[in-house]
Structure 1
């Protein structure tokens, strides 16, 4: 019997302006050498960004289903510093660093404990059904900007 609120996917959380999202490395994430395949870091970061938006109160699905469009990655810069391995517990940290009319810039890190494994800066642009950039809802921009301001207070 399932009890309400149980058996739900793990959800990240905000600590100040930083959204934290835990992931575990599974066999399917690794390559022949036993380390995480480079593209899988992008998957971890995508999951963390999607979860960050959900926890921040941004309903991407409703916006899309209402004809408002969806986010597309417009720019990505990533640096790999050290490998993750099978069964490692990782933490993806996401921070909004800028909010513009049609886009949001998010810096993300992947760590194993205190060790930085990967970091990236991602620009997600809101595009309409026609594929053209579209202004984000004002409430979303306000929420992103509040996270930027909150993050500026972090040492």
Structure 2
């Protein structure tokens, strides 16, 4: 999957008193998009735990806030794999809005490293081959 796009709407609860999205909520939007990306590949996270004994956990992240998102805006969260290894995935994500001329305005960019963590081992473990192969598509 080259790029996954998930639409979101900014709710009042996502904003501060000025109607601007609170900084940590951008991470929530990105998390939801990664979850929906997995779901689009028929990988429910609870099934991955049950069937493979692994969790996908955030190892590290970097985020750049470029422009504010505002209450009631319709946004797109774009997700792609920047780097894939046997036990981790680095995602490139951005949150964008479309202006009146249908031009994309990038609001936020992030890089998120996700590690495959063994439920029992509590340490990084290789991705199961079936999941790894799906991520290569």
TM-score by length of 1: 0.80
Distance 1:85 1:142 in 2: 38
* Equivalent position to 1:131, from 122, 125, 131: 122
Other structure's SS at 2:19 match: coil
Deviations 1:23-57 (A, max 9, x none): 00010000022100000000000000000011123
The corresponding residue for 1:119 is 109
* Equivalent position to 1:70, from 40, 55, 62: 55
Other structure's SS at 1:107 match: strand
* Alignment partner of 1:59 is 2:49: no
Other structure's SS at 2:32 match: helix
The corresponding residue for 2:101 is none
Distance 1:109 1:59 in 2: 23
Greater strand content: 2
- In structure 1, the gaps of 5 or more residues are 1-15, 147-155
Is 1:24–1:87's contact at 8 Å kept on the other side of the alignment? yes
Distance 1:102 1:109 in 2: 23
- In structure 2, the gaps of 5 or more residues are 99-103
The corresponding residue for 1:153 is none
TM-score by length of 2: 0.90
Q: Which has the higher contact order (CA 8 A, sep 6+)?
A: 2
CA RMSD of aligned residues (A): 1.3
Is 1:98–1:144's contact at 8 Å kept on the other side of the alignment? no
- Taking structure 1 as reference, are residues 134 and 79 closer, same or farther at Cα in structure 2, changes over 3 Å only? same
Shift of 1:67: 5.8
